[in-house]
């Protein structure tokens, strides 16, 4: 089981958290203007990165707040955690 | 057929102490060009190559595998085969596959040990039972064998199961598909490899595809760790690594890769007669011919390419199994491992043309594609050979994520396998 550093509560067992998948997906401002292809891309297509990956976690059984993490999806090592609204360590804007 | 396996070849080779069996398939160097390249030497990729050669007479084919054949999910799964899916599209596809399984050992002249011992899907809540009755009825309308069992009937088939109503999640009934069962996973890969090889297909191991080249919107070949190989048609069947290959071609896929684990016990005397699966408490179990209990767990929630998962997942899984079979609590587990499963939003595969001409993808089988191995290869070969999907896989194209025509099989496939 992973040990995850909640930015608010500190290090806790993974079983307290729920996974939220890829981070930094921007919801289209005017969805009605999108083509079916663009809407489908937003809804379903994912990076599914092998290696260093920005992703969302929620401390469901703790403070119940969402945050982002950079984790290596091959070694599973968590490299960094940062709050929603902050830039990722690799410079992906909020 | 040269080197046909039979009772006579067995006797002949016994006389020479089994020292003179010829190799089952060649290990050729890659040629500079082929008529079609299959990326991924799992069961699905090898079956695709086999049917390309056999059904469509396309024999200048290479299967490129980055490791060894069957070393991916094909050799890591719990081998449950069934076709009792809810929706027509899925039911027809998996039933085509089940029909091919029924003749596969003869077809390949290779014993894939397909054992139709029956598959039970347990229900533990009223809603489970409503879904089971609905799915079972849908199966019958599609000509697929399926019955609904009472707890007493379950106990009759599987005497060790705990049907006590005092259980935390008592068993209320089950769907039962008598034609379902298990097969020997390695043998499926080896049998298709040998079969394809006989038609002249080059099965090339230790050859990783590192790029997909295209010109004017058409595929021209693949870059590999053993150099560039040209082909006007490339079929990608790379399971958990599909997103990476899509990336090489500049495409995006609706797929997320997760670790999925399984474990086997020490060998026991025969104790389980069928395959037992439960979505609600999440466990599935069968017994191999060697006597090991084969137990499948659930996926880890996070994206993972490490071919290993969390201990907590196995722990919950074993708790469920012990609840169903209390007398298994003292059994020792011997080995545990993980695969990387390619999960699609609607728990259904993608068997599709792509925006790149000559490039085809077969992926998204997630936690449940072993059962589809022959059928998947059969329809994918058709799709590649004719550049158009077969009726059985037309609904499983990439376009469904843009039209919204998803095939929601989470009920039948989402957690079960
Ligand atoms: C623990 C577990 C239990 C399961 N239980 C069941 C079950 O009971 N019933 C069921 O129906 N299904 C089950 N499944 C799912 C099933 O195993 C898969 O859906 C199925 O085996 C996929 O077959 P495949 O040939 O597409 O993939 P694989 O066998 O994974 O083959 C893909 C191949 O592509 C190769 N590859 C990847 N990238 C490259 C590259 N760049 N170049 C060259 N080669 C590459 C890989 O090395 C691999 O060998 C289970 C899976 C797991 C992990
Ligand atoms: Zn917290």
Report pLDDT digits (tens) over B279-314.
Answer: 888 899 999 999 999 999 999 999 999 999 999 999
User: Among residues of chain A, what percentage have pLDDT more than 90?
Assistant: 89
Question: Do B154 and B261 fall into the same domain?
Answer: yes
Q: Under a CB-based contact definition with an 8 Å cutoff, are residues B101 and B83 in contact?
A: no
Asked if residue B362 and residue B306 are part of one domain, the reply reads no
Buried b (16+ CB within 10 A) or exposed e, B76-91: bbbbbbbbbbbbebbb
B80: Cβ–Cβ under 8 A, 6 or more apart, which residues?
B119, B180, B181, B182, B275, B277, B284, B286, B296, B368, B370, B371, B417
**Residue B411: its pLDDT value, please?**
67
Structure tokens at A87: 């830039």
The pLDDT assigned to A92 comes to 79
Which protein residue has the closest C-alpha to ligand 1 atom 34?
A: B40
Looking at the DSSP bridge assignments, the partners of residue B230 are B33, B221
Ligand located closest to B348 CA: 1
Q: Which two tokens stand for residue B388?
A: 């158009």
CB burial of residue B173 (10 Å; 0-12, 13-18, 19+): buried
Asked whether residue B15 is assigned to any structural domain, the reply reads no
Q: Tens digit of pLDDT for each residue in A17-62? A: 999 999 999 999 999 999 999 999 999 999 999 999 999 999 999 9
Distance from CA of A30 to the nearest CA of B (A): 17
CATH code for position B371: 3.50.50.60
Q: Is residue B147 part of a domain?
A: yes
Mean pLDDT value across residues B151-176? 96
Q: Has residue B11 been placed in a domain?
A: no
The residues, ordered by sequence, that sit 6+ positions from B48 with a Cβ below 8 Å of its Cβ are B38, B235, B237, B362, B376, B377, B380, B381, B384
B2 found inside a domain: no
Residue B270 shares a structural domain with residue B163: yes
pLDDT one-digit tens code per residue, B241-265:
999 999 999 999 999 999 999 999 9
Domain-located, residue B5: no
> Are residues B205 and B300 located together in one domain of the fold?
no
Q: What is the mean pLDDT of residues B6-23?
A: 94
Name, in order, each residue with C-beta under 8 angstroms of B216's C-beta and a sequence gap of 6 or more.
none
Dist. CA A6 → ligand 1 center (Å): 34
- Whether B255 sits inside 8 A of A21 (CB atoms) is no
Strand partners, B292: B267
* Nearest Cα to Cα of residue B194 among B290, B34, B338, B69: B69
pLDDT value, residue B2? 65
What's the CA angle centered on B345, arms B341 and B350, to 5 degrees?
70
Please give the Cα distance from B254 to B353 (Å, whole number). Answer: 15
Domain boundary among B306, B323, B343: B343
Q: Which residues make up the environment of ion ligand 2, defined by Cβ < 5 Å?
A: A 6, 8-9, 59, 62-63
3-state secondary structure of B64: strand
A37 interaction partners in chain B (CB closer than 8 Å): 402
In B, what residues contact A, Cβ < 8 A? 241, 243-244, 252-257, 301-306, 310-312, 345, 401-404
Q: What is the β-pairing status of strands B36-39 and B234-236?
A: parallel
The total number of structural domains that make up chain B: 2
Is residue B414 predicted with pLDDT exceeding 60? no
Contacts of B301 in chain A (CB under 8 A): 18-19
Does B398 lie in the same domain as B321? no
- Let me know whether B339 and B261 are in one domain: yes
Looking at the fold, whether B155 and B274 belong to one and the same domain comes out as: yes
Residue B325 sits in the same domain as residue B272? yes
> What is the C-alpha to C-alpha distance for residues B136 and B142, in angstroms, rounded to an integer?
10
Which of B343, B360, B393 marks a domain boundary? B343
- Note the pLDDT tens digit of each residue in B346-388: 999 999 999 999 999 999 999 999 999 999 999 999 999 999 9
Does residue B382 lie in a domain region?
Answer: yes
Q: How far is B267 from chain A (nearest CA, A)?
A: 28
C-alpha distances in angstroms, B376 versus B111, B124, B192, B368, B382? 20, 32, 13, 12, 10
Question: Do A44 and B302 lie within an 8 Å CB cutoff?
Answer: no
Q: What tens digit of pLDDT does each residue of B266-278 get?
A: 999 999 999 999 9
> B165: domain CATH number?
3.30.9.10
Domain that holds residue B300: 119-181+257-343
CATH architecture of A3-83: 2-Layer Sandwich (3.30)
Digit-coded pLDDT (tens) for B330-342: 999 999 999 999 9
Q: Are B128 and B279 in contact (CB under 8 A)?
A: yes
CA of B145 to the centre of ligand 1 (A): 27
Domain range list for chain A: 3-83
In chain A, the residue whose alpha carbon lies closest to the alpha carbon of B254 is A45
Please give, rounded to a whole number of angstroms, the shortest distance from the CA of B393 to a CA of chain A: 20
Q: Are residues B227 and B351 in the same domain?
A: yes
For residue B3, name the pLDDT band (cuts at 50, 70, 90): confident
Task: Check whether residue B284 and residue B377 sit in a common domain.
Answer: no
């Amino acid at each position: 089981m992973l040990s995850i550093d909640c930015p608010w509560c500190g290090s806790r067992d993974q079983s307290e958290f729920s996974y939220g998948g890829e981070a930094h997906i921007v919801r289209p401002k005017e969805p009605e203007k999108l083509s079916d292809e663009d809407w489908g891309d937003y809804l379903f297509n994912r990076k599914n990165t092998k290696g260093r990956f920005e992703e969302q976690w929620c401390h469901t059984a703790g403070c119940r707040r969402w945050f982002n993490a950079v984790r290596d999806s091959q070694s599973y090592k968590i490299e960094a955690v940062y709050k929603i609204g902050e830039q990722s360590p690799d410079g992906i804007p909020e | 057929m040269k080197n046909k396996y039979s009772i006579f070849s067995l006797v002949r080779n016994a006389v020479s102490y089994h020292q003179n069996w010829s190799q089952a398939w060649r290990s050729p160097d890659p040629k500079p060009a082929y008529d079609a390249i299959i990326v991924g030497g799992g069961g699905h990729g090898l079956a695709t190559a086999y049917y390309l050669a056999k059904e469509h007479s396309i024999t200048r084919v290479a299967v490129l595998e980055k490791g060894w054949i069957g070393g991916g999910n094909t050799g890591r799964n719990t081998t449950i085969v069934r076709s009792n899916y809810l929706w027509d599209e899925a039911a027809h596809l998996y039933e085509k596959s089940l029909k091919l399984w029924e003749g596969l050992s003869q077809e390949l002249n290779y014993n894939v040990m397909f054992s139709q011992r029956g598959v039970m899907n347990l229900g533990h809540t009223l809603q489970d039972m409503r879904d089971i009755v609905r799915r079972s009825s849908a199966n019958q309308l599609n000509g697929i064998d399926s019955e609904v069992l009472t707890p007493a009937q379950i106990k009759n088939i599987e005497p060790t199961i705990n049907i006590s109503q005092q259980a935390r999640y008592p068993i209320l009934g089950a769907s039962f598909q008598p034609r379902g069962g298990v097969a020997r996973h390695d043998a499926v890969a080896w049998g298709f490899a040998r079969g394809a090889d006989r038609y002249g297909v080059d099965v090339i191991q230790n050859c990783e595809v590192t790029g997909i080249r295209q010109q004017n919107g058409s595929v021209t070949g693949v870059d590999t760790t053993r150099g560039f190989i040209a082909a006007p048609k490339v079929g990608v069947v790379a399971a958990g690594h599909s997103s990476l290959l899509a990336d090489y071609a500049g495409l995006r896929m609706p797929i997320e890769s997760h670790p999925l684990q399984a474990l086997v016990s020490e060998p026991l005397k025969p104790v389980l007669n069928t395959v037992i699966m439960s979505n609600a408490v999440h466990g599935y179990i069968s017994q191999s011919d060697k006597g090991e209990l084969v137990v499948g767990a659930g996926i880890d929630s996070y994206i993972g390419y490490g071919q290993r998962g969390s201990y907590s997942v196995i722990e919950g899984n074993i708790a469920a199994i012990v609840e169903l079979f209390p007398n298994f609590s003292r059994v020792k587990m011997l080995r545990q491992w993980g695969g990387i499963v390619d999960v699609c939003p609607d728990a259904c595969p993608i068997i599709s043309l792509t925006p790149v001409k000559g490039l085809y993808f077969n992926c998204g089988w997630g936690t449940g594609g072993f059962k589809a191995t022959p059928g998947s290869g059969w329809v994918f070969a058709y799709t590649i050979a004719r550049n158009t999907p077969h009726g059985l896989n037309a609904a499983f194209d990439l376009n469904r994520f843009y039209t919204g025509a998803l095939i929601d099989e989470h009920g039948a496939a989402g957690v079960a396998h």
